[in-house]
Structures are given as C-alpha cells and as structure tokens.
Structure 1
Amino acid sequence: MYGSQQLAYAPTPYSYTPSSNLAATINLDQEVKLADNATERELYESLAEIYSIIVTLDALEKAYLRDSIQESEYTETCDRLLRQYKSNLADDNVAAAFGDLERFKLEWGLEAPKATERLRIGLPATVETAPAQQQRPTSQQPNNNAAATHIVSASESFITLLDAIKLNMLSKETLHPILVDTIQAVNKVTDRDFENKAKIIQWLITLNQMRVAEELSPEQARELQFDMQLAYDGFKSTLQS
C-alpha cells in the first residue's frame, strides 16, 4: 500500500526536461533600456510628460467643476499645463511621435474627456467665459478711470488683430496671442455675451489646433477679418446699451 501523502503538483504520465533552447538569453538582473541614445530618451520623456499633463489637467477640470479649487489657483495651474503641453509639442520629433490627441489617447488607454475639451479650446475656463460679476454697493464699484482703461485695452486688441490680418500676418504664432489678449480684455469690461463674441472663441479653437508656424489660408483670413469686425461691432454696441 502506498502512503496517502498528497503531491504538491498534478502528476503527469511523462517526465519533462526543459529545453535549453527556451532558456533566457538575457541577464534578468540587467536594466532594460527603452532608448538607445539621448535623442530617443528625450522623446520618451516628452511623451511621458504629455501623458502626465493630460491626466493632471483632467483632474484639475473636475476639481474646478466641483468648486474644490479657487478660481485664481485653477487659472494659474491650467494656464501652466496648457503652455507645457504646447511647449512639448513644439518639437517636431515629439509632434510626429504624438500624432494627434485622439490617437495618443487611444494608444495609451486614456479617456480624459475634461482635459480633451480644455486642450481643444486652449484656454482656462475662467478665461474662456467671463465670471458673472456680483453686484456691489455703489461705493465699491470700479472707478471710471479703471473701466475706461479696460475698454481702451479691449479696443486696442481688436484693432491690433484686424491690422495683423490686413498686413497678412496670418501665422498661429502671431494671431493666437492677440486673440487671447482680446478675449481677456473683453472679459474685464463685460460678462455679457454680446453679438458674435462666440466667434472669438471659435477662432481661438481653430488656431489652437494648428501648428505654430502654420498660417491661415487667404480664404480663412478673410473670414477671420469679417468675424472679428462683427465681434468688435458687437462689443461696441454692448458699451452703448
């Protein structure tokens, strides 16, 4: 009679001898290098940073929607993340490996819907839409000089933008900063959605999706000039009402 001791493994009818051909051919204690040179290493580091920016930005947007972060802190952090994102993609090698946002998210299993929308617009939510101003006592209302300064600044931004288009300065590098200045200046004057104000945001989105050195076509330039003139007229009408 055999003993009743239980085997630690399932018995097989045949003995098995590992083949030497299947043995590991690498040193398992040796560090595996993802990059063969400094250029590749920098590329992977940039892609990893972009990944981190997207994840962080998505969390930031959710925190802002839940009122878990102050507007000033949100604006500063969001603006910094957007600038870091654009800075990484300014490198041609990184941009080529990145492809586009949707492809990058699919490749690395990201969803990040809030970050996706913010990257598409390219502006913090606090800049995109002017916060509603609370009614204050008359003694606390901004003085006329401050209000006039904001109006002049907004008007100058519109005029600078229209002049740039007329001078055929049509690159994203030129137009995008002026449009950002315009919407920021306008929001300091009024929180009202005047006629064609949305056109400013739409063109910001269009320019934000272009490469830095890429330029608008002549047809796009005419359309931008037309839309911005309408937005400027709408802004001036708001001041008169």
Structure 2
Amino acid sequence: MSLDCPAALERIKEDRPITIKDDKGNTSKCIADIVSLFITIMDKLRLDIRAMDDLHPELRDLVDTMNRLSILQSDFEGKQKVAEWLATLNSMQASDELSEAQVRQLLFDLESSYASFNKVLHNAA
C-alpha cells in the first residue's frame, strides 16, 4: 500500500515536523528551558564555538520548545528567525563552521529574539 502525501514529504525534507502546540501545563518549565537555551547558544558563540554540530542540538531544542509554548503566537518573530538559522545549520556538514559574519548575525538575531521573548513574557503576566 502506498500513500501519496506530498505535503508531509515536503515537511520531512525541510525538517519541519508538525508539532502540537502544547506545553502540557509546564509553561514555567518551557520558559526556563527557552531562557537557558538562548543563553547557552549565545555563550557558545561568544566563546568562538561555531561548528554546526556544536550549535545544532541547542538550536533544534530551542525551536522545538518555542513551538510547544502555548503563549507564543505562531508568527512570533523570534521563532521565525531561530527556525531560519536551524535551516541554515541543517544545510551544513557537521564539521562546517559559521563564518565571522554569520556568527555576528546569529548573535544579533538571538539577542533581538530573546528581547522579544522577554517582552511577550512581561505582556503575558
């Protein structure tokens, strides 16, 4: 039996699984995880850690956790920026490194996304 599911295949190819937006009542844990992941990734970049395989796990977790957090809108700018960077890393080999310009841009995008995330938290409270 064969299924014709072009949309599902496209999501798989782009590494965009359909995630259920459900923090299962663990909103505080999701928020703490997101804060921790933002800080960890930014610290790695500031310590000149720039290899794809050193940055990918936390960036992937950050995307997944933000997608689960129910208080974040689907069009939240920070989610889009982080997802774009994850796509960039997904296109690289494990040993590839971000250029100096990419590191600066990623840090800028993470810092602005983190600031936007904090605004959402203050507005939700």
TM over 0.5: yes
The higher radius of gyration belongs to: 1
Instruction: For residues 17-46 of structure 1, give each alpha carbon's deviation from its aligned partner in whole angstroms, at most 9, with x where no partner exists.
Output: xxxxxxxxxxxxxxxxxxxxxxxxxxxxxx
Mapped to 2, the partners of 1:172 and 1:227 lie a distance apart of: 17
The question of 1:160 aligning with 2:53 is answered no
Aligned letter for 1:149?
K
Residue 30 of structure 2 corresponds to residue 150 of structure 1: yes
Root-mean-square deviation (CA, aligned residues, Å) is 2.4
State the secondary structure of the residue aligned to 1:211.
coil
The question of 1:172 aligning with 2:52 is answered: yes
- Specify the alignment match of 1:123 in structure 2: 16
Identity of aligned residues (%): 30
TM-score, scaled relative to structure 2:
0.81
Q: Which has the higher contact order (CA 8 A, sep 6+)?
A: 2
Tell me the residue number matched to 1:197.
Answer: 79
Q: CA-to-partner distance for each residue in 1:94-143, whole Å, 9 max, x for gaps?
A: xxxxxxxxxxxxxxxxxxxx43x642x323132xxx63x6xxxxxxx93x
- For structure 1, which runs of at least 5 residues remain unmatched after alignment? 1-55, 65-113, 134-140
Q: 1:207, CA displacement in angstroms?
A: 0.6
Equivalent pairs, count: 119
Which residue identity lines up with residue 92 of structure 2 in the other structure?
Answer: M
User: Would the alpha carbon gap of residues 204 and 59 (structure 1) be closer, same or farther in structure 2, given more than 3 Å must change?
Assistant: farther
Q: Is contact 1:195–1:231 with CA below 8 Å preserved after alignment?
A: yes
Runs of 5+ unmatched residues, structure 2: none
Q: Is the 8 A contact 1:197 1:234 kept in 2?
A: no
Deviation at 1:61, TM superposition (A): 5.5
